Structure 1
Amino acid sequence: MRNDPLSHGLWEKTAPPPPETTVLEGDVTAEIAIVGGGYTGLSAALFLAEAGKQVVVLEAEEIGFGGSGRNVGLVNAGMWVMPDDLPGILGDSYGERLLSVLGEAPRMVFDLARRHEMDCEAMPVGTLHCAVGESGLRQLDQRAKQWKARGAPVRLLNRQETIAKVGSAAFSGALLDERAGTIQPLAYARGLAHAAARAGADLRTGSRVLKAERSGNKWRLETPKGSLTAQNVIVATNAYTSTPWPEIRQEIVHLPYFNFATPPLPQSLRDTILPERQGAWDTKQVLTSFRWDREGRLVFGSVGALEGTGRAVHRVWAERAIARLFPELKGTRFEASWFGHIGMTADHLPKLHRLDIGVWGFSGYNGRGIGPGTVFGKALADLLLGNLGEKDMPLPVSDASTQPYRSLREGVYRLGSQAVHLMRTIA
């Protein structure tokens, strides 16, 4: 996208094309305006259009341009926060409700992919959270017990079981979550867009919202070439928010994340490395993730931005790290590389905001966008359809709050990840 191979890398190379879209021109009206063509906005558009609502989606760039088209493609259940901690943060009612909603999120993703026949490499075969050392294993043991207490199909694997599942002796154990899996993330976003368009949603790309003004009981959204008037607005821009709702961006710290992809590897290697095709990541603070794509490319990622000196530092680290995990891949080079930004909130939980009268939005997915984006999009659709009340939503309504030292922290993430990967490369 934008003729930049570092924006979407492998995913743009292998995803089916998006539906045909147009730029918003002239004055258009709709019942509901959705700003943002990622998982949340497209999910909301699909369910609203299926219910007969007149919906227009305004996307500043292209379908899946933001985090929806750049992420690793792990369809996880839950958030980074430990399950037992959520009731303490949100209260018992919202805490347990959010756990239930997010626990079912992968099923909704895979059901949508199947029902709408999306060509998005959906693999509902589970994920592996891999323990580094004894401290990592203790962390996973705690997480496993808390999910099991809620009836979730998770299992803590010992070292030998992990070696068999991962194909590496680097980990002391792993948490297998059978609810989860992998997907081609940009292909899934485009699949949602196709489904929404077939249901009657009007998708407009290259249509950045520059200004939002309320007139009577309606909103007028101005774009470079036109305007959209609607009674309700869903803001679904998350980490890629600019105008006219800067408060969303101000409560989010950008955490950069990159991915490299090998060329398609021989079947003999696919049979020993992640032989059951689970996606995986480890318990390090500057974590490593790895998974297969459909054609047998190993996608290998971590925290960091592929810009400036980071591009060389992270590439050298990735080449050596993949060889340390899987010695049989020593000397393997990468055919694609890309990166994007994860929107991190202060408490590592997403937020539901009423940004103004009739203006709603979820944001701050903290690296867990596929499942939450999908179910929260449906929740916003149900709210506007009257199927859910405000107090029935997965999260309580909160005011956006500015994170202190946001720019400084983003610089620390960029430079700190380079330092960590440089030291690991040297060591």
Structure 2
Amino acid sequence: MRRLYEPQAYDRDVGSYWQTTATPPRWPALKQSRAAKILIIGGGYTGLNCALELAEQGIDPHSIVVLEACQPGWGASGRNGGFCCTGGTKLPVDKLIARFGEDETRRFFKQQTASIESVRENLSRYHISADTHSNGETQLAHRESEMAGLHAEKQQMKDLFSLDCRITEKPGLSSQGLASPEFHGALTTPLGFALNPMKYLSGLAQAATGIGIAAYGGTPALSIRRAGNNWQTDTPGGHITADNLVIATNGYSSEDVPDWLSGRLLPVLSNILLTRPLTELELNSQGWTSHQMCSDTRKLLHYFRLMPPAEGEAGPRMLFGMRSGTSATPASMAMMHRRIRADFDRFFPAWRGVETPSSGPVWSA
């Protein structure tokens, strides 16, 4: 497989904390050739949701095949920040309207809110317990001048989408458990929630195999080509001939499987660190006690949230993520780790001495 970035970017085991919280099913490798009505390459959120939705729509589950190069949960779906929210673009609402028109902007927003409800429905439908928390998302102004934009966004959300957002001025942050010298106010949007991404992924994987969907792990797609009116995919254990093909590999896609995928995706590396459990004294010393999922107003933003205490742990952990560079060499990764730790210490000065035993990269596209 031809990749855009260094081999370290595609490491299968990065010591993610999420791996300690849930164990997705291990799928057997494909051992012989077979046929399928629908072949889905990629066993993350996209691939599993696609398979489950097709089965819900009446496609025979036994005719659906999901291929995973490793095992479910190894990539971005199993080691992301766990933010189920809107935010699929860096363009502000007024620029979206200027470029695409008001109707398309409304449609785009409805699609984002529908995706949140889709996750909520999945949690209920498949009885997945994923440590959900946070009432919507909070965007924090990293400069005083950013508050004007948050006020404008609040009004746009009301005018365009009939959505009541809440502004918190700087003096009110501490009373909401959001005390940090970094921020000058906030906008809270009442959409979305946070969750444990590995528990969600595990639940989807169990639901898929539970209804008879054929899922194979340790089975990379080595080639994809047309075979008459069908698609044929070669794997180390045999080939699959399918009527329909879905590629759901996102940031971990190859540039040459198939060749026409080359140049269509630009994966971006994100870094996440996680503290040890924090004590009540440490939480109160910083003044950050809210479990609200948050991000700042930077273009290359930071995202962070206190997580509910895990079973057997006395206090919550703080998850803290940020965009990284476009290189995964050991030197680049070490530099990014130093940077994210420095930013964490600046945001939360009372936690400068708090250990962050879990950290690692994740690609998304």
TM-score above 0.5:
yes
Deviation at 1:277, TM superposition (A): 0.9
**Whole-Å separation in 2 of the counterparts to 1:95 and 1:331:** 45
Report Cα offsets for 1:381-400 as digits up to 9, x if no partner. Answer: xxxxxxxxxxxxxxxxxxxx
Match of 1:297 among 314, 317, 320: 317
2:156 corresponds to 1:146: yes
2:336 corresponds to 1:314: yes
Deviation at 1:286, TM superposition (A): 3.4
Residue pairs, 1:115-154, within 5 angstroms: 115-149=125-159, 150-154=161-165
2:170 corresponds to 1:159: yes
- For 2:20, the equivalent position in structure 1 comes to 13
Question: Is the CA contact 1:18–1:193 (under 8 Å) kept in the aligned structure 2?
Answer: yes
- For 1:95, the equivalent position in structure 2 comes to 105
Where 1:30 maps in the other structure, the secondary structure is strand
Deviation at 1:249, TM superposition (A): 4.8
Question: Is the CA contact 1:77–1:104 (under 8 Å) kept in the aligned structure 2?
Answer: no
Deviation at 1:176, TM superposition (A): 0.7
Question: Is the CA contact 1:24–1:207 (under 8 Å) kept in the aligned structure 2?
Answer: yes
- For 2:207, the equivalent position in structure 1 comes to 195
- For 1:261, the equivalent position in structure 2 comes to 274
**Whole-Å separation in 2 of the counterparts to 1:28 and 1:195:** 22
Match of 1:75 among 50, 66, 84: 84
**Whole-Å separation in 2 of the counterparts to 1:76 and 1:161:** 24
- For 2:295, the equivalent position in structure 1 comes to 281
Residue pairs, 1:206-285, within 5 angstroms: 206-242=218-254, 243-270=256-283, 274-285=288-299
Change (3 A) 1:4 1:67: closer
Residue pairs, 1:268-417, within 5 angstroms: 268-270=281-283, 274-295=288-309, 296-304=316-324, 307-343=329-365
Question: Is the CA contact 2:23–2:202 (under 8 Å) kept in the aligned structure 1?
Answer: yes
2:192 corresponds to 1:180: yes
Unaligned runs of 5+ in 2: 1-8, 310-315
One-letter amino acid of the structure 1 residue matched with residue 144 of structure 2: E
Where 1:134 maps in the other structure, the secondary structure is coil
**Whole-Å separation in 2 of the counterparts to 1:86 and 1:217:** 39
**Whole-Å separation in 2 of the counterparts to 1:71 and 1:106:** 16
One-letter amino acid of the structure 1 residue matched with residue 81 of structure 2: V
Deviation at 1:19, TM superposition (A): 2.1
One-letter amino acid of the structure 2 residue matched with residue 120 of structure 1: A
Match of 1:42 among 48, 56, 59: 48
For the aligned residue pairs, the C-alpha RMSD in angstroms reads 2.5
Question: Is the CA contact 1:238–1:249 (under 8 Å) kept in the aligned structure 2?
Answer: no
Change (3 A) 1:221 1:94: farther
Report Cα offsets for 1:245-281 as digits up to 9, x if no partner. Answer: 3444513323211111111111344466553411111
Number of positions where the alignment pairs a residue of Structure 1 with one of Structure 2: 341
Question: Is the CA contact 2:143–2:184 (under 8 Å) kept in the aligned structure 1?
Answer: yes
**Whole-Å separation in 1 of the counterparts to 2:226 and 2:12:** 39
- For 1:352, the equivalent position in structure 2 comes to none
Report Cα offsets for 1:24-69 as digits up to 9, x if no partner. Answer: 2211222111111111111111111233322111111121332212
| TM-score for the superposition, normalised by structure 2 | 0.85
One-letter amino acid of the structure 1 residue matched with residue 243 of structure 2: Q
Question: Is the CA contact 1:76–1:127 (under 8 Å) kept in the aligned structure 2?
Answer: yes
Change (3 A) 1:245 1:8: farther
Question: Is the CA contact 2:290–2:306 (under 8 Å) kept in the aligned structure 1?
Answer: no
